Amino acid sequence: MHRPNRSGALLRAFAVVAIVAAIAPVDRADAVDLTAVQSPWLAIDRNRDSIVTSIVVRWQDTAALRRSHPDALAPEQLREALSKLRADHLFSASLAGTYPALIGILTEAGAFSASISPAKTTLKTGNTAPELAYTPITPCRIVDSRTAVGGTPAAGATRNWLASNPGGSFTAQGGSATNCGIPIKPTALAVNITIFQNGAGPAFLVAWPFNQPKPTSATLNWVTPGTQLANSAIVPLCTGAGCTSDFSVFFSQATNVVVDAVGYFSSPSGGNVLSVAPSGAQYSSIQAAIDAASALVVASGNTQLYLVRVAPGVYNEQITLKDNVDVEGSGRDITGITFSGAAPTVITGAQSTMSKFTVFNDFNPLAVAIGQTGNTPNGFTALEDMVLQAGGVGSNTAVNITGGTIHILRSDASTGVGNASTVQIALRGAGATSSIRYVNGRLLPHAGGDTQLAASQESGAIVKIDNTELRATTSGAPLCFATFQQNYTLANCP
């Protein structure tokens, strides 16, 4: 069911793309109207050569790059490809956190000519950086310091502001009483920044992602006091844990400021997809992304469906699924969730599909990878293409369902380690309200325990197993259809 390391990369990108567009004077300091400002892409196109050069210098043919990517493009080939990009694609290229991510952007933009070997584009494999799509909006005010909390910024002040507030408004920042039509937390925002009633110069302000070091490049400069200047810029935003604000602005001299949003960058699948990666995505925590998506589901009146897409990596956290939020890894061999706690690593029971992960728990005395005590009223959980492992030194249960319905497809449930006195259960259903359907997978309990069960049916639970390999016996009365031993001869499943 499918539905539609950041700091360094962002600072480099900000230094390149937070550049000044045409300076447009504002007629009146008490009535700033920026609805007719130029497109922020003009700033990219006017500085195209310097942006391309910056990217080439960053990824030039160094010895380290050659060791990790023997087929890396020569600098002149990379320059040729970059020069063909549209402004929005060039911006995405400047944000690429890895070389494969950069090649992926160039490939999808069709930037490679016949003179560049198509084999080079295979470096897209392993792209962990999010690809960005630009969504324009009607210009909308998100900051007006004249009425914002805190008033006029003083010389040397830094203000921290939100760039999106899907369930609320920007009134606390002096902005719109709406969410400005930004339905998600973006990766970057296209804005127009206007100063007025400003102090003497030379002076400047800098906008950059909250919770990151302040860059050395200015977003807007002025010399004359009382000057009214408007500059467009693309501001990368804070993502992941610790983002209590989205962006910061430093003022070298006192001035009032207005920030109008004109567009935002997000996953190309639209506002219904949130991205997670160890760095460089909207979130670095899977649970944080699930919670954010769930809040958007509720705000929509439970009419919208969301997908949390997770980049390769190992995420050390416990996960609780939420209704109408699907969670998709990049592949069960390269995307893992591990937890060493008494509770299950993943708590299911929501109306949700989770796929393409390895889920691991090694808590002692009882490790549980997947746990469920019941369903929400809206539906049940489906797990697809998963590896579910409980590997503690004590007893282990890979899947422990004591209430509600769950479907598990094309997955392997296993236990490991243990000791001679432990109980090893790959799949357990207990309680009259429990219903499990396990199809096209494997049930692999560790052979070292005192008791090894491929599946255990207890206390009136319904456990149905179909076309699945069993590496041990079963307990209770699971309903088994075309179930096999390790060599795929029919298993004795009562």
Tell me how far apart the alpha carbons of residues 48 and 16 are, in angstroms, rounded to a whole number: 10
pLDDT of residue 461: 96
Strand ranges, E, within 241-394: 247-251, 256-266, 273-276, 306-310, 313-316, 319-320, 325-328, 335-339, 346-347, 352-355, 358-361, 366-372, 381-384, 387-390
pLDDT of residue 181: 84
Do both 351 and 290 map to the same domain? yes
| % of the chain exceeding 90 in pLDDT | 44
| % of the chain exceeding 70 in pLDDT | 81
Query: Taking a C-beta distance cutoff of 8 angstroms, is the pair 207, 233 a contact?
Result: yes
Query: Scanning the structure block, which residue is given the tokens 């302000």?
Result: 205
User: Considering 73, 104, 124, which residue would you say is the last residue of a domain?
Assistant: 124
Do both 293 and 249 map to the same domain? no
Q: What is the mean pLDDT of residues 205-211?
A: 92
Q: Is the pLDDT of residue 337 over 90?
A: yes
Closest CA to 304 of 4, 2, 17, 1: 4
* Assigned domain for 26 exists: yes
Q: Which of 23-37, 78-92, 113-127, 336-350 has the lowest mean pLDDT?
A: 23-37
Do both 367 and 238 map to the same domain? no
Q: Which of 73-77, 240-244, 260-264, 453-457 has the lowest mean pLDDT?
A: 240-244
Q: Is the pLDDT of residue 126 over 50?
A: no
* One-letter amino acid for residue 38 of the chain: Q
> Which residues have a Cβ under 8 Å from the Cβ of 101 and sit 6 or more positions away?
127, 128, 129
* Assigned domain for 37 exists: no
Do both 26 and 51 map to the same domain? no
Do both 335 and 432 map to the same domain? yes
pLDDT per position as a tens digit, 63-93: 445 445 556 777 888 888 888 888 777 877 7
Query: Taking a C-beta distance cutoff of 8 angstroms, is the pair 205, 198 a contact?
Result: no
Query: Helix count (H) and strand count (E) of the chain?
Result: 8, 31
pLDDT of residue 7: 33
Q: Specify the number of domains making up the chain.
A: 3
Query: Taking a C-beta distance cutoff of 8 angstroms, is the pair 438, 432 a contact?
Result: no
User: Considering 216, 231, 266, which residue would you say is the last residue of a domain?
Assistant: 266
Q: Could you count the other beta carbons within 10 Å of the beta carbon of residue 264?
A: 28
> Which residues have a Cβ under 8 Å from the Cβ of 339 and sit 6 or more positions away?
316, 317, 318, 345, 360, 361, 363
How are beta strands 381-384 and 412-415 bridged, if at all? unpaired
Q: Which two tokens stand for residue 172?
A: 């606390």
Q: What is the mean pLDDT of residues 205-228?
A: 89
Tell me how far apart the alpha carbons of residues 355 and 469 are, in angstroms, rounded to a whole number: 20
pLDDT per position as a tens digit, 425-438: 999 999 999 999 99
Work out the pLDDT band at 302, boundaries 50, 70, 90: confident
Instruction: Enter the DSSP assignment of 320.
Output: E
Work out the pLDDT band at 41, boundaries 50, 70, 90: low
pLDDT per position as a tens digit, 479-489: 998 898 887 88
pLDDT of residue 97: 63
pLDDT per position as a tens digit, 183-207: 777 888 999 999 988 888 899 999 9
pLDDT of residue 61: 54
Of residues 15 and 362, more confidently modeled: 362
pLDDT of residue 192: 92
Report the range out of 36-40, 281-285, 316-320, 481-485 with the highest average pLDDT. 316-320
Do both 120 and 139 map to the same domain? no
pLDDT of residue 26: 34
Domain range enclosing 85: 45-124
* Residue 402 CB-density burial (10 A; 0-12 exposed, 13-18 middle, 19+ buried): middle
Q: What is the mean pLDDT of the chain?
A: 81
Torsion of CA 166, 170, 171, 172, to 10 degrees: 100
Query: Scanning the structure block, which residue is given the tokens 């797990």?
Result: 383
Do both 80 and 180 map to the same domain? no
* Assigned domain for 279 exists: no
Do both 166 and 120 map to the same domain? no
Tell me how far apart the alpha carbons of residues 368 and 263 are, in angstroms, rounded to a whole number: 44
Q: Is the pLDDT of residue 39 over 60?
A: no
Tell me how far apart the alpha carbons of residues 416 and 440 are, in angstroms, rounded to a whole number: 21
* Assigned domain for 273 exists: no
* Assigned domain for 274 exists: no
Q: Which of 37-51, 425-439, 452-466 has the lowest mean pLDDT?
A: 37-51
pLDDT of residue 249: 96
Q: Is the pLDDT of residue 146 over 70?
A: yes
Q: What is the mean pLDDT of residues 173-180?
A: 93
Do both 26 and 146 map to the same domain? yes
Q: What is the mean pLDDT of residues 144-172?
A: 91
Question: How far lies 116's CA from each of 79, 83, 89, 108, 402, in Å?
Answer: 11, 14, 19, 15, 58
pLDDT of residue 125: 32
Q: What are 407's strand-pairing partners?
A: 382, 437
Do both 26 and 56 map to the same domain? no
Do both 99 and 174 map to the same domain? no
Closest CA to 284 of 331, 242, 329: 242
Q: What is the mean pLDDT of residues 168-197?
A: 88
* Assigned domain for 178 exists: yes
- How many angstroms separate the first and last alpha carbons of the chain? 32
Annotate 435-482 with DSSP letters as a single string. Answer: EEEEES-EEE--TTSSEEEEEEEETT-EEEEES-EESS-EES--EEES
Do both 461 and 401 map to the same domain? yes
Q: What is the mean pLDDT of residues 440-469?
A: 91
Work out the pLDDT band at 52, boundaries 50, 70, 90: confident
User: Considering 94, 124, 154, which residue would you say is the last residue of a domain?
Assistant: 124
* Assigned domain for 108 exists: yes
* Assigned domain for 151 exists: yes
Of residues 476 and 274, more confidently modeled: 476
Instruction: Say whether the peptide bond before residue 202 is cis (omega within 30 degrees of 0).
Output: yes
